[in-house]
Chains A and B, each alone.
Chain A
Amino acid sequence: MKKALCLLLAWVCLGIQISRAQGGTEEMTPVTHTYALKNVTIIQKPGQVIQKGIVVVKNGLIHAVGPNVAIPANAKVIEGDSMFVYAGFIDGLSQTGIPRPEPAQAGSGRGGQQQRPQGVERGEPSYETAGIMPQQTVREALKPGDRSIDDMRKLGFTAAQVVPNGRMLPGNGSLIMLGSGKTADDYIVKENTSLVATLTTSPGVYPATQIGVISRFEELYRQAQQLQAHTKAYAANPAGMVRPTSDRVLEAFFPVLDGKQPVYFLAPDVKSTARALALQKELGFQMIIAGVRQGWPLADQMKALNKPTFLSLDLPKAKKEDAKPAAAAGGARGGNRPGAEAAPKAEENAKPAEEAKPKDPEMEALEARRAAEMALYEGQAAAMTTKSIPFAFSAMNAKPAEIRENLRRMIKAGLTEDQALAALTTTPANIFGVSAMMGSVEKGKMANLVVTDQPYFNEKSNVRYVFVDGMMYEYEVKAAPKGNPNGSAKVGGRWSYNIAVPGQEAAGVFNFKDEGGNISGTWTSTTMPGENNMAAVTLKGNNLTFSSSIDAGGQSMTLEFDLVFEGNNFSGKVNVGSFGTFDVEGSRLGDPKN
């Protein structure tokens, strides 16, 4: 069950509506490294737009920007009619480029139990077992060309602060470019930008709980202070003094103690936000709260920190109805949006259009509260703006396929497009102290650009080109096949199919039964066991649609197929709910006779 879910998630969560063009330009030796984007709308930075302008990219830099600049002869010209150019986005904290740790071997029952320390060691585990690895660096952990880099790049992200895998102290953060390179070194822009801390526990050993993690953090911090003082005193005059013992873990705190490095505290919910704030108050280090999903209740305390924050790009899954009532339900509890008297409205709006069903007042009230809560998550970014807390975004724990939709939901909930853009570009550049290098489309900066066919935050816009460090990545949009209502198709029989999930194999067999125009069918997948039934199979002309609900580890998922048949081939799309829509194609297997 679990395995099936993993497999399914693996393929569905990675794709979005576009697929990378075959033979991407980075794999061939390009004729030129000079590009000119012509006739484009240039959003230089939030609020600063050049209509019908030109951007020239040369030697990895933005060579020229303006309505009327000269295009060098060796430039590859991209006709950008109706396209939009933005500065490449900067992800404030994630693990892009860091491969996931190997999961514990499946089937061994209580996974990994054998390696767990027993006896006294359980209470006094090694740093590593306890998840205390602040000395880890991205330089060691980054995997060049990791899939996750392209996943983020094709959304328009060109730089990210990333952190190694781990638990309470996973390591140092570094700012990397989301380009291409042979070694980790090629990616790194700025090293040791942060000491990352989380409240993640170590199962079965100390600290096995958050109170253990918090206590251990304080203890390490104080021990680091002692070691630093000792080391300094010894360096000044070693005579008669016991030599300090080097400790990489404690030494990793030294830049924090010196105020040269902030602690980035990962706080996915309101309680961890509060706990991070309390710890900071106790010890006084510089702190940036990151990956914030539910920060609004503590916005005042966050503001008092006088630091920017990184809001999570992960939002709770939207219900289909939410799209409408969300805005109206905003702040329905009046909790954090003073003056919002939207509670009764939310109730009205939350009523689904199912008039047929008898109304259950209890469920309606619960649904209204749920919708109101959702609105608070979606409205967090806007609320932070109202509080004048500077923020950028963090893609930690966010699914790439959902990020653009989540940004749109935040905008729908009150964030302006300019504010969203600032949080993706100028603000993070500023926070990382790299404004001179990136964050806006200005002459002399790194050529980190996002080119879209419609304004980025439009639902139907596609990213067409991404430039990272002057390197161009082209993304092709596949047009959806159009069915012909007057056409015809014989679909009965077995068909192979292939779903274009980037980098993943998602294939199998459709088996249609055509009983006098009454079509039914089943399908199998090479990655999942069992046979799945098709529902609502409808053939109009040569356009076949059907849906299928599959059970993936207890979670029900509905796949909606929309296919166009041409002879012995078909192509089309499959929608997998919030995971996105993917291209499907296939061809007939064996005898066309039913």
Chain B
Amino acid sequence: MKPFLSILFLLVLAWAGNAQPATGSLLIKNGTVLTVTKGTFENTDVLVVDGKIKQIGKNIRTPQGVTEIDATGKFVMPGILDAHSHIALDVVNEATRPVTSDVWVGDALDPLDISIYRALAGGVTTIHAMHGSANAIGGECETIKLRYGTYDPEDLRMQGAPRTIKFALGENPMRSHGEGNGIVPRTRMGVEQVIRRAFSEAQEYMAAKDKYNAVKATDPTALPPTFNRRMETLAEILKGNIIIHCHSYRADEILMLMNVCRDYGVKRLCFQHTNEGFKVAPELAAFGAGASVFADWWAYKFEVYYSTAYNAAIMTKNGVVTSINSDSEELIRHLYHEAAKTQRYGGLTDDEALALITINSAKQLGIDQRVGSLEVGKDGDVAIFNAHPLSVYAIPMMTIVDGIVRFDRAKDADDQRMQVDPEKAETAFFLAQEHKNADHCLEDAFDFANELFGFERE
């Protein structure tokens, strides 16, 4: 047996039981530093102390006890963010009703998922682990850091990251509920009304709660509204405390949700997939909504038939905060390459392209003060490549989270599973079909639908 993450494991032991995940200190020396936001610097060092970037500059003296990493000839960029992922989750969809704002995927994090390690090996340090798209209003999502090596899901959470929730428009909720269960929504008209009703009910719920709170001191007969988790979460959306991340494809439905949000005073909005975002880029920019897209996926269903790989470039050039996501355990392994495609399809600059998988994703998740670029004071999340990360030949060499090396190609052993079947040694072979384009937002919902109606996944 190879020393399985042996150093990491000692660290895991050290922090087990503590509330705060471990941080580390290290000095990355003499690399080409791609800060993304502040320019590119050659032969430059990055000093991380106790998990935070302390200094970026030339010839930084190595503080005592700080490990040096030689990055001569290498490219140092901020850890990559994936604004749309379903890895590290045991549950993706609670598909039993069109509004499930009561559930939260953070309750079912899977810190043992090997995909976490494989994403680290693609330079990814932070992901937005999302609920699926079976419901018009889905569950809350969770922003996590890829601190692989822990059994405790609490260690994965990115403390302080804003709450986010999944919404979904178009075919998926129509299929899950209208076609699948004979209830609204079966059309895009229905999707709108499901959301409007939910928001309105949440307003009523809030009003009842406010009224109760106002009189409870003086009126002993006053009663609060019955506690309702769905309404509690929706109320927080209306108050601006939760960012909506909405699965969407067509331009019309994107416009619809912006109109609905305007009517209810909701401002924090980011569209996911957004294949036809390019058609309404000026409107997205005017609203201030973000758009997180695939680099080039299209044609896997009708609502993505009129797509273009130039989507990210068009939106970027129209001032939309745009990111490129994976929605796939495979694509997440090479988001740097996905971002590079915007140079072929639309001629984005290096910084524009890199922003799509770093600072822009961070903005969409409300964590751009913490991650997404190499700046003093930000988290020590770093990806080191052997070549410029936008080159097809680039290989991620090392990935650092909070100043701790979580992936090191030089020391990488074959078997990186956290959990092993105690009854069976040989691991199962299966040919993943993940390379077939499809959004993975109906995971679980399909199992569910399959069971009930014999739906096939493809």
Contacts and interface: CB of A to CB of B under 8 A. Distances in A.
Q: Do chains A and B touch in the complex (CB under 8 A)?
A: yes
B15 to A, nearest CB: 10
A377 B337 CA distance: 42
A230 interface: yes
Contact of A211 (B94, B97, B154): B94
A119 B97 CA distance: 9
A184 to B, nearest CB: 35
A119 B424 contact: no
Interface residues of A, number: 72
Contacts of B302: none
B93 interface: yes
A119 B182 contact: yes
Contacts of A116: 452
Given A271-B112, A274-B154, A372-B1, A208 B96 contact: yes
A334 B426 contact: no
Given A208-B95, A303-B17, 12 more contacts: A123-B97, A206-B97, A209-B91, A209-B444, A215-B107, A233-B220, A241-B220, A275-B107, A334-B9, A366-B426, A370-B420, A374-B423
B451 interface: yes
B183 interface: yes
Interface residues of B, number: 61
Contacts of B454: 110
A382 B286 CA distance: 63
Contacts of A216: 102
B221 interface: yes
B425 interface: yes
A46 interface: no
B351 interface: no
B251 interface: no
A122 B97 contact: yes
Contacts of B110: 271
Contacts of A240: 221
Interface stretch (B48-56, B65-73, B222-230): B222-230
Given A119-B181, A226-B224, A301-B17, A333 B451 contact: no
A333 B343 CA distance: 45
A365 B1 contact: yes
A210 B425 contact: no
If over half of A's interface residues share one DSSP class (helix, strand or loop), that class is named, otherwise mixed; here it is helix
A223 B103 contact: no
A212 B90 contact: no
B153 interface: yes
B3 A207 contact: no
B456 interface: no
Contacts of B91: 209-211
B455 interface: no
Interface of A: 110, 113, 116, 118-120, 122-124, 203-212, 214-216, 218-219, 222-223, 225-226, 230, 233, 237, 239-242, 270-271, 274-275, 278, 297-298, 300-301, 303-304, 316-317, 319, 332-336, 338, 343-344, 346-347, 362-363, 365-370, 372-374, 376-377
B448 interface: yes
Nearest to A343: B1
Dominant secondary structure of chain B at its interface with chain A:
loop
B422 A377 contact: yes
Contact of B94 (A209, A237, A241, A346): A209
Contacts of A275: 107-108, 153
Contacts of B287: none
Contact of B182 (A118, A223, A303): A118
B152 A301 contact: yes
B104 A215 contact: yes
Contacts of B107: 210-211, 214-215, 275, 278
Nearest to A300: B17
A366 B102 contact: no
B151 interface: yes
Contacts of B105: 211
7 contacts: A206-B97, A206-B100, A211-B108, A219-B229, A241-B220, A300-B17, A365-B2
A17 to B, nearest CB: 24
Given A208-B96, A210-B91, A219-B228, A369 B220 contact: no
Given A300-B17, A304-B17, A374-B422, A223 B226 contact: yes
Given A122-B96, A219-B102, A373 B1 contact: no
Residue among A212, A216, A334 with most chain B CB within 10 A: A212
A319 B422 CA distance: 9
A367 B96 contact: no
Contacts of B139: 211
Contact of B1 (A206, A222, A303, A332): A332
A363 B425 contact: yes
Given A333-B9, A363-B426, A212 B1 contact: no
B87 to A, nearest CB: 15
A369 B425 contact: yes
B376 interface: no
